[in-house]
Structure 1
Amino acid sequence: MKSADLLTSAHTESIQAILDKVESSPLGLDESVAQARQKTFGPNQLPEAVSPSIVSIFIRQFKSPLIYVLLLAGVISLAIEAFSDAAFIFVVLLINAGIGLFQEYRAEQSAQALKSLAAGHALVLRGGEVFDVDARILVPGDIVLVESGAKVPADLRLIDSHDLSVDESVLTGESAVAHKDATLSLTAETPLADRDNMLFAGSLVNTGRGRGVVTATGLNTELGKIATSVLGRVATKAPLIVRMEKFTHRITIVTGLVCVLLVGISVTQGASLTSMLLLAVALAVSAIPEGLPVALTVALSVGMERMAKRGVIVRRLVAVEALGSCTYIASDKTGTLTVNQLTVRQIQFPEQDQWGVSGEGLEPEGEIRATTSLDQASADLLVSNLAQTMTLPNEAVLSQRDGQWEGHGDSVDLALLVFAHKAGVSPTQCLNKCPEFAMIPYESERQFAASLNLVDGQLKVFVKGSLERLLPMCNTMRCADGEKDIDPQTITQQAFNLAARGYRVLAAANGLLDIEVNANASHELTTEQLQGLCFVGLVAMSDPPRPEAAMAVANCRAAGITVAMVTGDHPQTALAIAREVGFADKPNEVVTGTQLQEAVSAGQDQFDVLCRGARVFARVEPQQKLQIVESLQRQGHFVAVTGDGANDAPALRAAQVGVAMGMRGTDVAKETSDIVITDDNFSSIVAGIEQGRLAYANVRKVIFLLISTGAAEVILFALALMAGLPLPLLAVQLLWLNLVTNGIQDIALAFEPTEGNELRQPPRPPNQGVFDKVMLQRMLLSAIAMGTVAFGTYYWLLKAGWSVEGARNLVLLLMVMFENLHAFNSRSETQSVFTMNPLKNKLLLFSVIAAQLLHVGAIYTPGLNEVLGLQAINWQEWAAMLVIALSLVLVNEAYKVWRVSRTQSLP
């Protein structure tokens, strides 16, 4: 059997013919057969784009207008026969490229490691049992189960389908969904987009359920045919990186214009060509922060790594900086704010009190305790009827393997299967006794699931879902003494009482349908047929809040972030959880889907007013979740929204930060989101926000260090030129200065740990640029302080009779000290440098020490000291330059004190 032989004909074959060709059955392959085929067909994956080689990354370090200017400086040095200067410029360029190579290669390796945390999975039948497996081990002949929100893991010939629609735009380019039908027979000429009895790898299931046999894997799939066109796509750069690259390009242009202007001035003053070119080279080297793009990429990559350690997988670099601006979190409830360990705790029948159910988790150990004096036969009949109704329209799988109970599927369905076992109803036996003829699978828009089963020779429908949807379907209710006319008010009150205690409440109903049984024909089940049913009872499940959720919400409040719950649950259930977690307390903070629908009709302003005061959105439909996000954005919020279903995709896409659940999230949700939470825990989202704020703060620190030091060098040169003094530093000295002060210190700032107050500050305004008022004030103050003090020192040395070479020697030492001390000033915008433990960022401490030692070494290294124009310095001169350099620390400390006092005095 060869998988490739099936690619062009699978859609033309009957289901049985396909099963015969792949030597499989509806129960799937045996594990031993699957493992043998794995060796034949290899892993079910497309070849990934080859990571850039070390050589290509190294070459890429020179593809920048900034580097082009420095290369031009080297060429000019060669032209004027300043060979030692030219050699040093080229050596420094190589060293800078080496540093960039190391950092980019490390970031690339980290990105590859993060990909492994988001590997695809598939539900497969092997030997009649359902397994959740890595999609890479699928082989032709495997039977795969798909449902709404899933990503199709391989090419499949459908065996059966229920209301199945698929987004195949990745293959066909068509945005319209494709509706699938396993029963279709197609001709060989049927185009790919019309092969509606097939599912293709890479497509996304929008609605419904399906089961199919794998006909092709890996490169043999239709997606594999176009693999070469999807490989090698360049990853999108974060907006911050793009803005900074544009900024540095502008600096390059401005530097060029300034150089031309100053050279022109020098010409009018009769300066020589050599001096003019030296001036241009020196200015170019001073102004250009050539390491900025690489440093920012590293800063964001470090943020991604740190988030991953906290359970937050960043799929797009943009999310790192976006999280720092988050002002509103619209969170779902189940599994995010709660532990997602649903257990049936109470059941209630019409005209009865609540009955207790004991037991925990997936272990079907426990009992049902009736609170009335019903005889055992009547009680058993009520319970078995409820258990059967909750079991048949159920898509989960609960089984015992090696003495342990395992479950696959939705947590609600699993809890209901556990309850059925406790009630003495075996789901497997129930389905064998009452074979399924048709079904309506659960979708969040419907809020119910239904199945049509053959019971004692008649077709009977079983429905479970929200009470609001089921009550209109019923005209009778099942009581201990038989069926009676339904009492909607009493039943609604029963559900309200359960929900008010924090339970998640589901209703059950069933009834005979007047349909002739035909075993040889397919039967359709529609919503319109669900009328005249008998209400069976209520099931109340508990899913307690996560222990850490309350603290996480409190941290959000301290950080100025509003938290709201968006759920499909009953309003009272949602409010009870919100009270426990701590972000809502009053009934008027709850808004229902019905109220939202009415507000839409009243106009956008009314809808916004309704959303503004809400902290709990209950009984919300997926489309309304999108409307809520859009309303919050209109009100100026920067929204992070969580989701796990296919229908959450529009809201995830619309939000500034889409957060998908890693454990229970569908593939559609993960594909649409910006970040994935591996443990589905709300506290992980808050931890991600903290790390996002830290990453953005570290980006600002890197920018502050590089721009302020570069500006200081320009100020020093401008003042010397205006004073008619010789150049205070040579071009090679400036290159050396930038190498020993920014070669690794800027990267080290990207590893700066938390200051501890990230979640005690308000969010950064979404429209605030990197160069805000505080950043500009600090940069100008620091640049002016360094530049003017260095110029004053240079001027004094020359007036005191020092030679130009000797003055340059001391000014270079002063600037090395200035800029290395400034790395410590850059660690915080508010905290004093004297209160921050230098050992918390050992890389920064060691880089500064190494830079100072490197400069000392250069002074006493024959040859190098001649190229750099360095001379020996006595200890008095060292001490004098250190005292002068410390003035920069005092200036920055004074600014921080002034700013803090000014902030505290503001109302």
Structure 2
Amino acid sequence: MTNPDSSRLWQCLPLPELQRQLDSCDEGLTTAEAGRRLTMYGSNALPQPRPPGFTRLFLRQFISPLIYVLLAAMLVSLIVGKLADATFIGLILLLNALIGGLQEYHAHRSALALRNLMVSRARVLRDGQIEEIPTSQLVPGDLVLLASGDRVPADLRLFDATGLEIDESVLTGESLPVRKDSGALCEADTPVAERLNQCFAGSLVAAGRASGLVIATGLHTEMGKLSLSLETAEEVKPPLFQRIERFSKKLTIGLLITVALLASLELARDTPPLVIFMTAVALAVSAIPEGLPMALTVVLSIGTRRMVKRHVIVRNLVAVESLGSCTVIGADKTGTLTQNQLTAREVATCDGDRFRIDGTSQPPAADPVTTSSEAVARIIRVAALCNEAELHTLENGDCHSSGDAVDQALLLMAYRSGQTRQQLLAVHPLLAQIHYEPVLGFAATLHADGERRLVCVKGALEKLLPMCARMATARGDTALDRERALATMHELAETGARVLAMAEGSWSDDQKFSAENFAAHLSDLCLLGLVAMVDPMRPEAAAAVRACRQAGIRVCMLTGDHPRTALSIARELGLTDGDEGAVTGGELAQAEKAGAEAVDALTAKTRVYARVSPEQKLTIVQSLQRQGQFVAVTGDGVNDAPALLSAHVGVAMGQRGTEVAKESADLLLTDDNFASVVSGVEEGRIAYQNIRKVIFFLISTGAAEVVLFVLSTALGLPLPLTPVQLLWLNLVTNSVQSIGLALEPGEGDEMQRPPRPPKESLFNPLMLRRVITSGLVMGVLGFTCFYVLLQQGLAVEAARNSLLLLMVLFENVQVFNSRSETHSIFQQLFFSNPILLLGTLAAQGIHILAMYSPLMQEVLGVTPVSAAHWSTLLGVALLQLLAMEVLLRVSQRYTAPA
């Protein structure tokens, strides 16, 4: 085989010559040949940017204004001969860089692992059978099948195309889809944007179906060439991080002003400038939560990993928190609330005859169902011929099917009646086809049938009735009774079944035939009957809906099914009661014509939407958003992309979702299960709670240190803590504990609380009350202790030693106060977070070791204290716990409903 080269003129070659040069055939490549070519040409993937190495991440930790201030302090200490202080500051900087670098390194590796979970797949013809493989395994010469909503996986020369339109804006910038023609031949100098017989990797199938031969993969594709000339764009920070950074900047400015005022007062008191400088630096760094961005990343990264275990892949990190804030979830029915394993349960003719079918997803190879009714036999023939699924019998007698779920169910039904699509096609070869599209609502095929042509149509009864003039009965074909047909459909739909109508007709030879005018002749057909299909409810779906109701979240079901079917399923799920009706796509369209207010009135309380098109999801989402709702929506098709992008949180189906839907979403469900969405909501709420816990802990402890210094300076006392002691305090209390809080499990009642208001600030009144109270209590008690010790005649160094120990005890108590905003510390499981417990014990233990270490005694100015003194300080620290418990009781009483 000639070595494929993307620079060759594939667009100029006739199809037979193209197949010869690619050494391919109508049956596709063999598995062995595909493997050989994969080894020869490599993976069909663009090189992923390598994650930054640890050294680079380590050095990046020093790029911060706060770090610059610390470096300056270290240099000044060296210049004036304070080697111990300089060494200690240097160790702190190294430890901070090490922790930050390791965390970022782990975050990059986690992101890479998540990317590997999101594998794109393509349908190819291998060994004469359709297979679904990872796009990375495509090789030149592969015959790829495309359908509406697919992302083109490689550069293709079209082999066959029906109504194919490709959105090539990602490559050419042209916003309108391009109509492709597999039979066209292009000149050698035809630009990429005008090659009508080619499709290019990365473009999107906007409409139609096609097959094409792979002519280039990986870096040899047009997209691959383009990627070599592009630099990786910087990632935009999510809104949550931007809000936190804005808060941090305001806090920094306020603290710097405070520090400047304190420094001015100390300078007026003739305090040595070096001491003032070192203290100001230490206080600023200690009070400012410089570790907050990293702590937030830890919280969201942990939430991401937890979500993966619950079948949710996070594409946008901040979506972990956003999902927990949703007030409305718009969920697809098929495959999300149900198992997406449709089974044909019953066949009914329009005159009332019904035939129960023992339909299963894996029928045995023997004992087929016999068909006694001629009308039913005709229904089954249409169901098998007007079909795009594949059904293969395995050696053990089971069946393997692939393709659309409805088509699979119909093929299985035909198989159990003793007919296969292959057998029927041998008698009635396929001549033309209209593929099913949601906008059409039906599919049709044209087959040879002796001297005439057989027309087979399936779809919604409302779509087929205008095409029919007769209907099949036990007495033969009679004039169409529309009311009888609709009544039969309603009876079947009442049971919760999905009802599909079947019709057939003939096309005589005297009518001029062409594939293009096939659709225009879909008239004068005979309505054969109806097939009722059921999609079993997911066992956990009803419980998940109940959990949402308890959490104050309204669940809306969106389906293309008949309203009666939709309401039957909604009642089974507990979504609605017997009095509530469904809003149909037609009613929604009428409301749109009347204006936004009419739409909003329709969607204000609706929980069930039936016969809605994918495009109408966007209308529903925008209406709910206008009403102040925070909306999460699920989707799987290309037409769902606008709704997924417009929703606050877009959730795509990882199994059956199209590539464009996955790329438009913030989250992917690996099991396409609604219960996983609910699990994601719970994890999102836990993540948000943990963010608040970390912020409260960091801000309140910093506020206490500021209060302590303000009081000491205002009353003319010596500086309560030295710069090195402040840095030690910051290191001991604000590192391990923050990570421990980020690992907090749920409190158990996340799904019993109402959603938080979408516009609520992180620093709501509850947070402010807690920060102010705890900061004042710790700061005032710390100052009082320092003052009393000085009044008792202790030296400043001894008073600082006791105060430093007290502050360590304060903040180790405070970390347990941070575990919940609404529950008493005595209601929490003490051992539910061993990392937090061990981290707190380690922080206390490190300080104890420092008190007995000669080196640290010299550096920190600390000494051991007696057991009685220790007990006294611990008693003072526990007053902080008492203060927060009192605040909790007052808050609960104040906010309790009358």
Compute the TM-score of the two structures, normalised by the length of structure 2. Answer: 0.97
AA aligned opposite 1:246: R
**SS at 2:827 equivalent:** coil
Q: Determine the C-alpha separation between the residues in 1 that align with 2:812 and 2:250.
A: 26
**SS at 2:799 equivalent:** helix
**Number of the residue aligned with 2:442:** 448
Q: Determine the C-alpha separation between the residues in 2 that align with 1:401 and 1:122.
A: 23
Matched, 1:717 2:709: yes
AA aligned opposite 2:459: G
**Number of the residue aligned with 1:897:** 889
**SS at 1:443 equivalent:** coil
AA aligned opposite 2:695: I
AA aligned opposite 1:473: M
Q: Determine the C-alpha separation between the residues in 1 that align with 2:547 and 2:214.
A: 48
Per-residue CA deviation, residues 279-323 of structure 1 (Å, 9 max, x unaligned), is 422332232212111111010000000000000111111211111
Deviation at 1:615, TM superposition (A): 1.1
**SS at 1:706 equivalent:** helix
**Number of the residue aligned with 1:309:** 309
**SS at 2:832 equivalent:** helix
Q: Determine the C-alpha separation between the residues in 2 that align with 1:548 and 1:461.
A: 42
Change in Cα spacing, 1:857 to 1:473, as seen in structure 2 (3 Å) is: same
Q: Determine the C-alpha separation between the residues in 2 that align with 1:147 and 1:901.
A: 60
Matched, 1:428 2:422: yes
**Number of the residue aligned with 1:559:** 551
AA aligned opposite 2:834: K
Residue ranges of structure 1 left out of the alignment (5+ in a row): 371-375
Per-residue CA deviation, residues 765-809 of structure 1 (Å, 9 max, x unaligned), is 101111111111111111111111101111111111111111111
Per-residue CA deviation, residues 629-687 of structure 1 (Å, 9 max, x unaligned), is 11111111111111111111111111111111112111111111111111111111101
Contact 1:164 1:209 in 2 (8 A): yes
Q: Determine the C-alpha separation between the residues in 2 that align with 1:51 and 1:196.
A: 38
Per-residue CA deviation, residues 445-464 of structure 1 (Å, 9 max, x unaligned), is 22111222222243333211
**Number of the residue aligned with 1:44:** 44
Matched, 1:382 2:375: yes
Deviation at 1:834, TM superposition (A): 2.2
Residues 343-742 of structure 1 aligned to structure 2 (within 5 Å): 343-363=343-363, 376=372, 379=373, 381-403=374-396, 404-513=398-507, 523-525=515-517, 527-586=519-578, 588-742=580-734
Contact 1:3 1:220 in 2 (8 A): no
**Number of the residue aligned with 2:176:** 176
Contact 1:503 1:542 in 2 (8 A): yes
**Number of the residue aligned with 2:782:** 790
AA aligned opposite 2:775: A
Deviation at 1:278, TM superposition (A): 3.1
Deviation at 1:624, TM superposition (A): 1.3
Q: Determine the C-alpha separation between the residues in 2 that align with 1:899 and 1:355.
A: 65
**Number of the residue aligned with 2:12:** 12
**SS at 1:259 equivalent:** helix
Change in Cα spacing, 1:64 to 1:516, as seen in structure 2 (3 Å) is: farther
AA aligned opposite 2:772: L
State the identity %.
48
Q: Determine the C-alpha separation between the residues in 1 that align with 2:412 and 2:650.
A: 33
Q: Determine the C-alpha separation between the residues in 1 that align with 2:65 and 2:561.
A: 57
Matched, 1:207 2:201: no
Deviation at 1:525, TM superposition (A): 4.5
Deviation at 1:3, TM superposition (A): 5.0
Contact 1:89 1:732 in 2 (8 A): yes
Per-residue CA deviation, residues 794-825 of structure 1 (Å, 9 max, x unaligned), is 11111111111111111100111111111111
State which drifts further: 715-724 or 353-362. Answer: 353-362
Per-residue CA deviation, residues 559-594 of structure 1 (Å, 9 max, x unaligned), is 000011110000011111001010112354311111
Q: Determine the C-alpha separation between the residues in 2 that align with 1:640 and 1:307.
A: 16
Contact 2:370 2:417 in 1 (8 A): no
AA aligned opposite 1:287: A
Contact 1:70 1:284 in 2 (8 A): no
2:839 to 840, 844, 847: 847
**Number of the residue aligned with 2:245:** 245
**SS at 2:833 equivalent:** helix
Change in Cα spacing, 1:369 to 1:581, as seen in structure 2 (3 Å) is: farther
Per-residue CA deviation, residues 687-714 of structure 1 (Å, 9 max, x unaligned), is 1100011011111111111111111111
State which drifts further: 475-484 or 497-506. Answer: 475-484
Residues 119-138 of structure 1 aligned to structure 2 (within 5 Å): 119-138=119-138
Contact 1:391 1:417 in 2 (8 A): yes
**SS at 2:503 equivalent:** strand
Q: Determine the C-alpha separation between the residues in 1 that align with 2:295 and 2:32.
A: 51
Change in Cα spacing, 1:131 to 1:230, as seen in structure 2 (3 Å) is: farther
Contact 1:449 1:465 in 2 (8 A): yes
AA aligned opposite 1:432: A
Deviation at 1:258, TM superposition (A): 3.0
**SS at 2:43 equivalent:** coil
Contact 1:699 1:750 in 2 (8 A): yes
Contact 2:368 2:415 in 1 (8 A): no
Contact 1:389 1:508 in 2 (8 A): yes
Per-residue CA deviation, residues 264-286 of structure 1 (Å, 9 max, x unaligned), is 34444544422432342233223
Residues 768-807 of structure 1 aligned to structure 2 (within 5 Å): 768-807=760-799
Contact 2:558 2:612 in 1 (8 A): yes
**SS at 2:854 equivalent:** coil
Deviation at 1:360, TM superposition (A): 1.1
Contact 2:359 2:412 in 1 (8 A): no
**SS at 2:324 equivalent:** helix
Contact 1:65 1:252 in 2 (8 A): no
Deviation at 1:148, TM superposition (A): 1.4
Contact 2:631 2:648 in 1 (8 A): yes
Change in Cα spacing, 1:69 to 1:454, as seen in structure 2 (3 Å) is: farther
Q: Determine the C-alpha separation between the residues in 2 that align with 1:289 and 1:2.
A: 63
Residue ranges of structure 2 left out of the alignment (5+ in a row): none
State which drifts further: 69-78 or 661-670. Answer: 69-78
Q: Determine the C-alpha separation between the residues in 1 that align with 2:511 and 2:444.
A: 18
Q: Determine the C-alpha separation between the residues in 2 that align with 1:666 and 1:196.
A: 23
State which drifts further: 681-690 or 73-82. Answer: 73-82
Deviation at 1:7, TM superposition (A): 4.0
**Number of the residue aligned with 2:757:** 765
Per-residue CA deviation, residues 87-112 of structure 1 (Å, 9 max, x unaligned), is 21121011111111222222222222
Deviation at 1:120, TM superposition (A): 1.2
Per-residue CA deviation, residues 133-179 of structure 1 (Å, 9 max, x unaligned), is 12221111111111112222111111111122222222122222222
Per-residue CA deviation, residues 486-539 of structure 1 (Å, 9 max, x unaligned), is 111110110011001100000112223467688xx9621564432222212111
Q: Determine the C-alpha separation between the residues in 1 that align with 2:422 and 2:447.
A: 14
**Number of the residue aligned with 1:373:** none
**SS at 1:834 equivalent:** helix
2:808 to 807, 810, 816: 816
**SS at 1:67 equivalent:** helix
**SS at 2:780 equivalent:** helix
For these two proteins, the number of residue pairs brought into alignment is 896
Q: Determine the C-alpha separation between the residues in 1 that align with 2:128 and 2:275.
A: 85
Change in Cα spacing, 1:269 to 1:860, as seen in structure 2 (3 Å) is: closer
Change in Cα spacing, 1:749 to 1:869, as seen in structure 2 (3 Å) is: same
Q: Determine the C-alpha separation between the residues in 2 that align with 1:79 and 1:901.
A: 58
Contact 1:367 1:423 in 2 (8 A): yes
Contact 1:285 1:731 in 2 (8 A): no
Q: Determine the C-alpha separation between the residues in 2 that align with 1:703 and 1:2.
A: 63
Q: Determine the C-alpha separation between the residues in 1 that align with 2:241 and 2:266.
A: 37
Contact 2:4 2:22 in 1 (8 A): no
Deviation at 1:80, TM superposition (A): 4.4
AA aligned opposite 1:489: E
Change in Cα spacing, 1:707 to 1:487, as seen in structure 2 (3 Å) is: same
